[in-house]
């Protein structure tokens, strides 16, 4: 009998590699003829996974983690027409049916048919439909013809697998934040957060032609990583305000566009800053010019048991929205609809228009090294950990 191993959430701060069931082409008791089974080539640890592992969501013990997946098709259902055995594919983290109104309008992050409790679903994530995650050796993907992006030249793609593995989430997510904020050639941009999504967003801003990209964080190694590919940086441990530090770079205390790549675990400023979940949103309105835009790919949740206030535990934050209204800002929130961007970004990678693995400092690790990767990432490592379950990614 075929076996399968995966990284499983146990309790706050603890994940383990465990034996799990080999995937079936089934949704509960119902045959999933539109699905495929993948041999996982690469699967990444995401900051969104870290929120769960820190105990900052209502994720249940035993959840198989992982929503950033690249794999080989090894089995397919009878209704799958366009994906073939042996295809190398990128899996958008959004699970989408391709049939509902939102999918037909390219809003695949809020598909109406794949989650009984709310619009939108993802692999291995709390409240996102109960789908089994892909930090594993094998995984089932439904609605395969619609969801999967075939990487057309398998040999060439494997040579760039460290870059292409990022198509499942963080590169489209960072790019989405930049696009929805309004970044265009010649723009000045502030990116809050130098984790992998923030760095992917900064690289995307360069791809979109921004003149100056400023990245803010509190971890020196992450700021150094941002500088390694041409970003300016601000150190949020300093007492100087964010506006003052931006003025030192640009000569004025504002930017055209801001992207929040931090989310609900944001801290205030200064060396001894404590958690203030609305900090980034309020800063964004303060330092974005009148008429500018704010993209918010950073995660905000409706249930946060680790929050410091009762309001924040249900996602209610003290946001100074009147400032944004007065300055005619536009805001864009929510999951990235990966399929809107992943094909074009694949071509950008294959034609050397973006070196995303270098920008986010990919480190390839084994499945058994996954728990240590989680621990190192939680300490602020300036790396993007890519899990290599079968030794195929390098």
Q: What is the CATH number of the domain that holds 93?
A: 3.90.180.10
What average pLDDT does the segment 125-134 reach?
93
Shared domain check, 223 and 90: no
**What's the confidence (pLDDT) of residue 319?**
93
pLDDT in tens, 251-287: 999 999 999 999 988 888 887 788 888 999 999 999 9
Say if residues 109 and 334 touch (Cβ distance below 8 Å): yes
SS3 percent helix, strand, coil of the chain, rounded to 5, is 30, 25, 45
**CA 388 from centroid of its chain's CA atoms:** 18
Would you state the structure tokens that stand for residue 140, as one six-digit string?
């089932």
Greatest alpha-carbon span in the chain: 66
In a domain, 392, yes or no: no
Shared domain check, 84 and 69: yes
Provide the residue range defining the domain that includes 81.
Answer: 4-169+337-387
pLDDT in tens, 176-224: 999 999 999 999 999 999 999 999 999 999 999 999 999 999 999 999 9
Shared domain check, 189 and 327: yes
Which one, of 280, 68, 22, 269, lies nearest residue 165 by Cα?
A: 68
Please report, to the nearest 10 degrees, the dihedral formed by the alpha carbons of residues 109, 19, 15, 200 taken in order. Answer: -40
382 to 15, 223, 254, 356: CA distances (angstroms): 21, 9, 27, 14
The total of structural domains in the chain comes to 2
Shared domain check, 158 and 14: yes
Q: Model's pTM, two decimal places?
A: 0.96
Domain boundary (333, 355, 372) is at: 333
**What's the confidence (pLDDT) of residue 274?**
84
Can you tell me which residue has the tokens 């530090």?
Answer: 245
């Amino acid at each position: 009998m075929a076996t399968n191993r995966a990284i499983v959430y146990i309790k706050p701060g603890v994940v383990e590699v465990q034996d799990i069931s080999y995937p079936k082409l089934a949704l509960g008791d119902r045959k999933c003829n539109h699905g495929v089974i993948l041999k996982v080539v690469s699967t990444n640890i995401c900051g969104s996974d870290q929120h769960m592992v820190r105990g900052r969501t209502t994720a249940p013990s035993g959840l198989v983690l992982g929503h950033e997946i690249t794999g080989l098709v090894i089995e397919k259902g009878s209704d799958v027409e366009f994906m073939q055995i042996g295809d190398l594919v990128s899996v958008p983290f959004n699970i989408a049916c391709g049939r509902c109104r939102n999918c037909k309008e390219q809003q695949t992050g809020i598909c109406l048919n794949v989650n009984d409790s709310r619009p939108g679903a993802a692999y291995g994530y709390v409240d996102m439909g109960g789908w089994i995650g892909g930090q594993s050796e094998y995984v089932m993907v439904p609605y395969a013809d619609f969801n999967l992006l075939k990487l057309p030249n398998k040999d060439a793609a494997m040579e760039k697998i460290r870059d292409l593995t990022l198509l499942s989430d963080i590169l489209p997510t960072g790019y989405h934040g930049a696009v929805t904020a309004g970044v265009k050639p010649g723009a000045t941009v502030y990116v809050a957060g130098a984790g992998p999504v923030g760095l992917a967003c900064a690289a995307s801003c360069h791809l979109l032609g921004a003149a100056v990209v400023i990245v803010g964080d509190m971890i020196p190694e992450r700021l150094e990583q941002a500088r390694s590919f041409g970003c300016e940086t601000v150190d949020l441990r300093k007492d100087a305000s964010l506006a003052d530090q931006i003025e030192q770079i640009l000569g004025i205390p504002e930017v055209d566009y801001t992207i929040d790549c931090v989310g609900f675990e944001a801290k205030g400023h200064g060396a001894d800053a404590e958690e203030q979940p609305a900090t980034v949103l309020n800063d964004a309105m303060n330092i974005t010019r009148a008429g500018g835009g704010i993209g918010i790919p950073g995660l905000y949740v409706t249930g946060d048991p680790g929050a410091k206030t009762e309001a924040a535990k249900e996602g209610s934050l003290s946001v100074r929205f009147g400032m944004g209204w007065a300055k005619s800002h536009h805001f864009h929130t929510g999951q990235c609809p990966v399929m809107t961007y992943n094909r074009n970004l694949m071509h950008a990678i294959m034609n050397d228009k973006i070196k995303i693995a270098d920008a986010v400092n990919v480190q390839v690790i084994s499945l058994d090294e996954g728990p240590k990767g989680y621990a190192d990432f939680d300490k602020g490592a300036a790396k993007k950990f890519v899990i290599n379950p079968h030794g195929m990614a390098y």
